[in-house]
């Protein structure tokens, strides 16, 4: 507990205090201004990157939800004895380092890579079609990297549905479609929201996909924070942006608890 | 007798069985095909990594190139040829082992404290639960950034020590949550029986409590290890000059990636998947 306090609360507090300061990046000297002045200043400077991050993370999360709901449903309801095997297959990407996974996507999407060359020779894409360096590449990388974060909570939610409720629906003359729409879908809504948050929040703060797959036009806020800390050394600016990022994430969680009760997302981890 | 008081409708069809369900096309054909396609999508980049680990480089420069230049097993022979790669790999392993050991012990103790004590005995229990949760849910970059702020403010040089501190910080929460789930179904009367039979608190913990929660502890430790060895975002902020494996690879994307990166990736993947599959098979035999 003390450890957590030391290494989590204290850094957060320091970050808050740093965001109250103004730093001179050249000399590295920070002095307290006791004002939130840095905060709106940074937000106005980088609001377009915040919006880009929101868009990319939301797009990737929606793609993940659409892609992984059917497979989660299938494993939960029809997986049979092979359930564990299929769940492990969902986790397969995690056996390769996150950075390497993203790098491989750079190879897949690169104009000279064999995948794009093949598509071009097959005339499926025109010769001036590029994807690497665009926002679409970033979304592709994000949705691949965070797919398990969506699929597993969905699986947990679907697995938890009492089969007897479904039987009751059929006994009450529900068709398969009605049973799905009026029983399975409503019962899986907490899981869908949990999956949304568990995918959206890390994708929102991600900068690896953007730096490797995206061009300079698609800068996400994570990249900005990383650069302010590690390149320019403007800790006050970086801290202010981190505070905003944290607040947005916590807002999502707070909303979840508010709308769907205090049943915590932890259950879906 | 509610059956008697219920209005009797004599003409109601007695054989009103639910209508025949439509043939199970979805369960039998569409969904399995789709699911295998998703799995193929998940495996595809790994196959690409495997293929590219056999790719020749252009003009003698040991760098991976996007285009295919012919088959070679050179990079497997010269797996140690990239400067700093295996050193950073062992650094990652060491870091993960130390972070796992510390965070497993602390996380297990934290979980026990959270489950055992009522809010009255344990002030701030609710707060700690919230902190644990935020720790898991907050974007990693925020934690990395705030830890960097801490180390800079207190003038702690960035290196192996700061890496260990940071990794333990984010692993504890996962261990605590995993162990807590296991502890929730723990039967306290077993411990009481142990005390009645004359065992002290230490013996009871060692011989009764620990064996019972061991699966949870192991799962937590495994999770901590996996998180620690693959962590990039936090490590990148606090690593300084000693780069763990992911940080080194990321740094090399700027100057050219040595082909051995894909060799390492392939080998780590193979070892991991063999371990996981064998544990799956053993688990099935056990039950």
Window 247-276 of B: residues touching A by CB (8 A cutoff) are 249-250, 253, 257, 261-262, 265, 268-269, 272-273, 276
Is residue B68 situated within a structural domain? Answer: no
Q: What was the pLDDT predicted at A182?
A: 87
A242 in contact with B, Cβ within 8 Å: yes
Best of B88, B149, B274 to substitute, by most chain A Cβ atoms within 10 angstroms, is B149
A31 has pLDDT over 60? no
A239 in contact with B, Cβ within 8 Å: yes
Q: Are residues B90 and B228 in the same domain?
A: yes
User: Cβ distance B272 to B181 under 8 Å?
Assistant: no
Best of B12, B30, B138, B182 to substitute, by most chain A Cβ atoms within 10 angstroms, is B138
Q: Are residues B216 and B116 in the same domain?
A: yes
Task: Quote the Cα angle for B117-B122-B128, to 5°.
Answer: 100
Q: Are residues B135 and B190 in the same domain?
A: yes
Q: What was the pLDDT predicted at B2?
A: 42
CB pairs under 8 A between A and B: 235
Is residue B34 situated within a structural domain? Answer: no
Q: What was the pLDDT predicted at A66?
A: 94
Strand partners, A23: A30
Contacts of B47 (CB under 8 A, 6+ apart): none
CA distance A170 to B18: 7
Q: Are residues B127 and B225 in the same domain?
A: yes
Best of A11, A21, A130, A167 to substitute, by most chain B Cβ atoms within 10 angstroms, is A11
Confidence of residue A34 (pLDDT cuts 50, 70, 90): low
Is residue B97 situated within a structural domain? Answer: yes
Window 190-219 of B: residues touching A by CB (8 A cutoff) are none
Is residue B9 situated within a structural domain? Answer: no
CA distance A110 to A21: 42
Tell me which residues of chain B have a pLDDT lower than 70. 1-27, 60, 118-124, 284-287
Token pair listed for B133: 């949760």
* Distance between B140 CA and the closest CA of chain A, angstroms: 7
Confidence of residue A119 (pLDDT cuts 50, 70, 90): confident
Give chain B positions within 8 Å (CB) of A12: 146
Q: Given an 8 Å threshold on Cβ–Cβ distance, is A8 in contact with B143?
A: yes
User: Cβ distance B139 to B233 under 8 Å?
Assistant: no
Per the structure, how many domains does chain B have? 2
DSSP designation for A35: S
Average pLDDT, chain A: 80
Contacts of B182 (CB under 8 A, 6+ apart): B213, B215, B216, B217, B219
Q: What is the mean pLDDT of residues A190-197?
A: 88
Q: What was the pLDDT predicted at B96?
A: 93
Q: Are residues B182 and B221 in the same domain?
A: yes
Strand partners, B55: B71
Q: What was the pLDDT predicted at A4?
A: 56
Q: Are residues B263 and B252 in the same domain?
A: no
Sign (positive/negative) of CA torsion B215, B217, B219, B222? negative
A263 has pLDDT over 70? no
Alpha-helical (H) ranges within chain B are 2-5, 25, 31-52, 74-77, 85-116, 125-137, 140-153, 160-183, 188-196, 201-204, 210-230, 233-238, 245-255, 260-286
Q: Which residue of A has its CA nearest to B19?
A: A173
How many CB atoms within 10 Å of residue A122?
Answer: 8
Q: Are residues B264 and B233 in the same domain?
A: no
Which CA distances in Å does B245 have to B85, B167, B264, B269?
7, 14, 10, 14
Is residue B7 situated within a structural domain? Answer: no
* Distance between A14 CA and the closest CA of chain B, angstroms: 6
Question: Buried b vs exposed e over B68-100: b needs ≥16 C-beta within 10 Å?
Answer: eeeeeebbeeebeebeebeebbebbeebbebbb
Confidence of residue A59 (pLDDT cuts 50, 70, 90): very high
Token pair listed for A204: 């929102």
Q: What was the pLDDT predicted at B4?
A: 42
Token pair listed for A240: 């202010």
Q: What is the mean pLDDT of residues A97-107?
A: 89
Q: Are residues B114 and B198 in the same domain?
A: yes
Instruction: Note down the domain range covering B284.
Output: 258-287
User: Cβ distance A55 to B7 under 8 Å?
Assistant: no
Is residue B190 situated within a structural domain? Answer: yes
Q: Are residues B234 and B262 in the same domain?
A: no
Give chain B positions within 8 Å (CB) of A222: 139, 141
A265 has pLDDT over 80? no
CA distance B256 to B253: 5
Q: Which residue of B has its CA nearest to A69?
A: B35
Q: Given an 8 Å threshold on Cβ–Cβ distance, is B131 in contact with A207?
A: no
Which CA distances in Å does B234 have to A256, B141, B238, B246, B255?
26, 6, 7, 11, 22
* Distance between A160 CA and the closest CA of chain B, angstroms: 16
A21 has pLDDT over 80? no
Where do the structural domains in chain A lie, given as residue ranges?
50-221
Give chain A positions within 8 Å (CB) of B34: 70-71, 74
Is residue B77 situated within a structural domain? Answer: no
A161 has pLDDT over 60? yes
Q: What was the pLDDT predicted at A63?
A: 95
User: Cβ distance A170 to B18 under 8 Å?
Assistant: yes
Q: What was the pLDDT predicted at A139?
A: 92
CA distance B86 to B245: 8
Q: Are residues B131 and B158 in the same domain?
A: yes
Of B19, B68, B168, the CB nearest to A3: B168
Token pair listed for B20: 């025949």
**DSSP codes of every residue in A96-160:** S-HHHHHHHHHHHHSTTSHHHHHHHHTTSS-TT---TBSHHHHHHHHHHHHHHHHHHHHHHHHHH
Residue B198, helix vs strand vs coil: coil
Q: Given an 8 Å threshold on Cβ–Cβ distance, is A89 in contact with B110?
A: no
A35 has pLDDT over 70? no
Q: What was the pLDDT predicted at A72?
A: 92
Taking the domain A50-221, which CATH number applies? Answer: 1.10.3720.10
Residue A218, helix vs strand vs coil: helix
Give chain B positions within 8 Å (CB) of A115: 48
Confidence of residue A27 (pLDDT cuts 50, 70, 90): very low
A7 has pLDDT over 80? no
Which of A40-49, A73-82, A103-112, A139-148 ranks highest by mean pLDDT? A139-148
CA distance B234 to B144: 4
The number of residues making up chain B comes to: 287
Q: Are residues B201 and B235 in the same domain?
A: yes
Token pair listed for B215: 């699966």
Q: Are residues B222 and B276 in the same domain?
A: no
Q: What is the mean pLDDT of residues A39-50?
A: 78
Is residue B272 situated within a structural domain? Answer: yes
Of B141, B232, B269, the CB nearest to A95: B269
Q: What was the pLDDT predicted at B5?
A: 46
| CATH code assigned at B249 | 1.10.3720.10
Q: What was the pLDDT predicted at B14?
A: 47
Task: Tell me the backbone φ, ψ of residue A261, rounded to 5 degrees.
Answer: 80, 175
């Amino acid at each position: 507990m003390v450890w957590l306090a030391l290494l989590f609360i204290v850094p957060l507090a320091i970050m808050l205090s740093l965001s109250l300061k103004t730093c001179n990046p050249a000399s590295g000297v920070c002095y307290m201004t006791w004002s939130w002045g840095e905060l709106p200043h940074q937000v106005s400077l980088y609001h377009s990157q915040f919006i880009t991050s929101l868009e990319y993370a939301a797009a990737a999360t929606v793609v993940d939800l659409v892609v992984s709901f059917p497979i989660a449903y299938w494993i939960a309801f029809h997986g049979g004895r092979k359930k564990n095997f299929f769940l492990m297959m969902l986790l397969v990407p995690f056996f390769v380092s996150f950075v390497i996974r993203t790098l491989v996507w750079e190879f897949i999407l690169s104009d000279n890579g064999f995948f794009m060359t093949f598509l071009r020779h097959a005339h499926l894409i025109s010769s001036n079609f590029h994807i690497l360096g665009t926002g679409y590449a970033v979304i592709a990388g994000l949705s691949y990297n965070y797919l398990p974060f969506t699929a597993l909570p969905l699986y947990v939610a679907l697995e938890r549905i009492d089969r007897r409720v479904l039987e009751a629906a059929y006994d009450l003359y529900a068709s398969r479609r009605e049973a799905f729409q009026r029983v399975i879908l409503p019962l899986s809504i907490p899981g869908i929201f949990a999956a949304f948050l568990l995918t959206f929040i890390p994708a929102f703060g991600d900068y690896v996909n953007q730096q490797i797959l995206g061009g300079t036009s698609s800068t996400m806020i994570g990249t900005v924070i990383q650069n302010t800390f590690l390149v320019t050394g403007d800790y006050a600016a970086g801290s202010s942006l981190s505070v905003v990022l944290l607040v947005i994430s916590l807002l999502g969680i707070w909303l979840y608890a508010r709308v769907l009760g205090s049943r915590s997302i932890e259950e879906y981890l | 007798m509610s059956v008697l008081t219920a209005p009797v409708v004599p003409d109601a069809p007695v054989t009103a069985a639910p209508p025949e369900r439509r043939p199970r096309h979805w369960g039998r054909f569409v969904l399995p095909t789709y699911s295998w396609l998703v799995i193929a999508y998940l495996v595809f980049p790994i196959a690409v990594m495997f293929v590219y680990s056999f790719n020749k480089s252009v003009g003698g420069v040991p760098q991976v190139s996007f285009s295919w230049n012919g088959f070679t097993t050179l990079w497997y022979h010269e797996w140690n040829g990239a400067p700093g790669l295996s050193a950073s790999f062992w650094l990652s392993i060491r870091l993960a082992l130390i972070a796992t050991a510390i965070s497993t012990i602390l996380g297990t103790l934290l979980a026990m404290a959270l489950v055992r004590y009522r809010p009255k005995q344990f002030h701030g229990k609710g707060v700690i639960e919230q902190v644990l949760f935020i720790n898991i849910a907050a974007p990693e970059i925020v934690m990395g950034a705030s830890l960097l702020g801490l180390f800079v403010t207190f003038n702690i040089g960035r290196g192996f020590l700061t890496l260990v501190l940071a990794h333990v910080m984010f692993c504890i929460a996962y261990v605590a949550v995993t162990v807590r789930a296991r502890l929730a179904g723990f039967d306290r009367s077993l411990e009481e029986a142990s005390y009645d039979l004359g065992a002290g608190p230490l013996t009871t913990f060692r011989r009764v409590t620990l064996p019972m929660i061991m699966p949870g502890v192991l799962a937590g430790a495994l999770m901590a290890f996996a998180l620690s060895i693959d962590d990039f975002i936090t490590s990148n902020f606090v690593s300084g000059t000693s780069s763990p494996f992911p940080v080194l690879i990321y740094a090399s994307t700027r100057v050219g990636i040595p082909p051995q990166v894909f060799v390492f990736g392939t080998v780590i993947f193979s070892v991991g998947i063999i371990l996981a599959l064998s544990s799956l098979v053993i688990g099935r035999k056990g039950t």
